[in-house]
């Protein structure tokens, strides 16, 4: 039996829709996934949660969706979790990749096989190539080389998985707020596409100001590319990058030339509609092999 530890976002429902048998949906207390959880848990009671999974016959675990680091309440730590406390505290203090590696190791040591989302739904990883009508120019290809180097350096510092590049210059780097928040600084608030990104124009307005360091006019990113790839050496069983409809709408609203994702390294949700949005806006989607020209 598979337990799906679901965070927020569209990835957990996309996985469940592809499964012949519904998994045991679990969620960390304080997070509201799009799926109704069968079981909730606190990080301070992780040991008891592992025992509960065993009692329910769970053998495999998949972690999918966005979560933020929880605050740990020492008073809530139960006896089953006390032996794990030093590792949990160490994990929370690390970067995202280091924290996930520790959590994965805890699950594996408890006897569970940790499955990647793309193992469950391999169709979420599109084949390499340009899958939209708009072609990729030589300038776009050169910008992709710059962007790949920038994301690799960011990944070594465990700081993000995406950036925006134009004319070999990095205009923005993804931070904890995410890709769509990064793109928020480039789109005018009255852009109809921006308003269509599920309220991101208002919800992420302050995030955009924080990311750009300004509160004035949005930065001009017309002709730039959005590049997204996994961190170098990251454990791909968790936190593999994802793009979807919101990313496509935000990229179009920002006036980008296109979106470049690493082949076999970035999942695409609702790819048919993503391609349609990008085609309508005249953007490309290039699934680029690592190190590709």
Picking from 120, 150, 169, the residue at the C-terminal end of a domain is: 120
Q: Are residues 224 and 184 in the same domain?
A: yes
Q: In terms of C-beta density within 10 A (0-12 exposed, 13-18 middle, 19 or more buried), how is residue 287 classed?
A: buried
pLDDT at 2 over 60: yes
Mean residue pLDDT of the chain comes to 87
d(CA 286, CA 130): 4
**Dihedral sign for Cα atoms in the order 285, 155, 8, 62:** positive
Picking from 72, 88, 120, the residue at the C-terminal end of a domain is: 120
Radius of gyration of the chain (CA): 20
Asked if residues 270 and 246 have their Cβ atoms less than 8 Å apart, the reply is no
The predicted structure's pLDDT at residue 202: 34
The mean per-residue pLDDT over the stretch 74-93 comes to 90
Q: What angle do CA 176, 179, 180 make, to 5 degrees?
A: 115
Q: Are residues 109 and 151 in the same domain?
A: no
Chain segment 183-224, per-residue pLDDT in tens: 988 866 555 554 444 444 333 333 333 343 444 456 789 999
Q: Domain of 164?
A: 125-288
* 125-130 LR contacts (CB < 8 Å, sep 24+): 125/263, 125/264, 125/265, 125/266, 125/267, 125/268, 126/263, 126/268, 126/271, 126/287, 127/263, 127/287, 128/263, 128/264, 128/287, 128/288, 128/289, 128/292, 129/286, 129/287, 130/284, 130/285, 130/286, 130/287
Q: Are residues 116 and 129 in the same domain?
A: no
Q: Are residues 61 and 48 in the same domain?
A: yes
d(CA 235, CA 100): 8
DSSP conformational letter for 268: E
How many independent structural domains does the chain possess?
2
- What is the SS3 assignment for 221? coil
d(CA 83, CA 252): 49
Q: Are residues 183 and 65 in the same domain?
A: no
Asked if residues 268 and 275 have their Cβ atoms less than 8 Å apart, the reply is no
Chain segment 136-190, per-residue pLDDT in tens: 999 999 999 999 999 999 988 878 899 999 999 999 999 877 888 899 888 665 5
Q: Are residues 135 and 58 in the same domain?
A: no
Residue 91 CB contacts under 8 Å (≥ 6 apart), including other chains: 98, 99, 102, 103
Task: Please identify which residue in the block is written with the tokens 């799926």.
Answer: 35
For residue 2, what are its two tokens?
Answer: 């598979």
**Dihedral sign for Cα atoms in the order 186, 278, 158, 114:** positive
The mean per-residue pLDDT over the stretch 233-237 comes to 85
Q: How far does CA 63 lie from the centroid of its chain?
A: 12
Asked if residues 33 and 7 have their Cβ atoms less than 8 Å apart, the reply is yes
The mean per-residue pLDDT over the stretch 265-271 comes to 97
Q: Are residues 115 and 142 in the same domain?
A: no
For residue 166, what are its two tokens?
Answer: 């134009």
pLDDT at 113 over 70: yes
Domain CATH code at residue 9? 3.40.50.20
Q: Rounded to 5, what percent of the chain is helix, strand, coil?
A: 40, 20, 40
Q: Provide the strand spans (E) within the chain.
A: 2-6, 24-28, 39-41, 60-64, 113-115, 129-130, 162-166, 169-173, 225-228, 242-243, 258-262, 267-268, 284-288
Q: Are residues 109 and 131 in the same domain?
A: no
pLDDT at 44 over 80: yes
Q: Are residues 246 and 106 in the same domain?
A: no
């Amino acid at each position: 039996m598979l337990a799906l530890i679901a965070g927020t976002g569209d990835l957990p429902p996309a996985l469940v829709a592809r499964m012949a048998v519904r998994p045991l949906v679990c969620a960390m207390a304080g997070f509201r996934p799009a799926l109704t959880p069968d079981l909730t848990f606190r990080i301070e009671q992780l040991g008891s949660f592992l025992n509960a999974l065993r009692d329910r016959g769970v053998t495999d675990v998949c972690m999918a969706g966005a979560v933020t680091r929880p605050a740990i309440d020492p008073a809530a730590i139960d006896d089953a979790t006390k032996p794990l406390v030093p590792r949990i505290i160490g994990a929370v203090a690390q970067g995202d990749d280091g924290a996930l590696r520790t959590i994965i190791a805890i699950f594996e040591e408890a006897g569970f096989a940790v499955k990647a989302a793309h193992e469950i739904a391999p169709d979420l990883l599109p084949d390499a190539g340009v899958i939209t009508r708009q072609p990729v120019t030589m300038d776009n290809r050169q910008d992709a080389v710059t962007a790949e180097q920038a994301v690799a350096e960011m990944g070594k510092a465990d700081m993000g998985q995406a950036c925006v590049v134009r004319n070999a210059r990095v205009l923005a780097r993804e931070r904890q707020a995410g890709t769509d928040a990064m793109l928020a600084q480039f789109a005018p608030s009255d852009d109809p596409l921006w308003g269509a990104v599920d309220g991101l124009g208002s919800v992420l307005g302050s995030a955009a100001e924080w990311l750009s360091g300004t509160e004035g006019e949005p930065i001009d990113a017309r002709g730039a590319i959005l590049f997204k790839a996994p961190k170098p050496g990251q454990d791909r069983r968790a936190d593999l990058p994802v793009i979807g409809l919101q990313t496509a709408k935000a990229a179009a609203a920002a006036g980008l030339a296109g979106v470049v994702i690493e082949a076999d390294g970035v999942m695409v949700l609702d790819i048919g509609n993503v391609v349609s949005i990008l085609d309508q806006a005249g953007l490309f989607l290039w699934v680029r092999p690592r190190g590709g020209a």
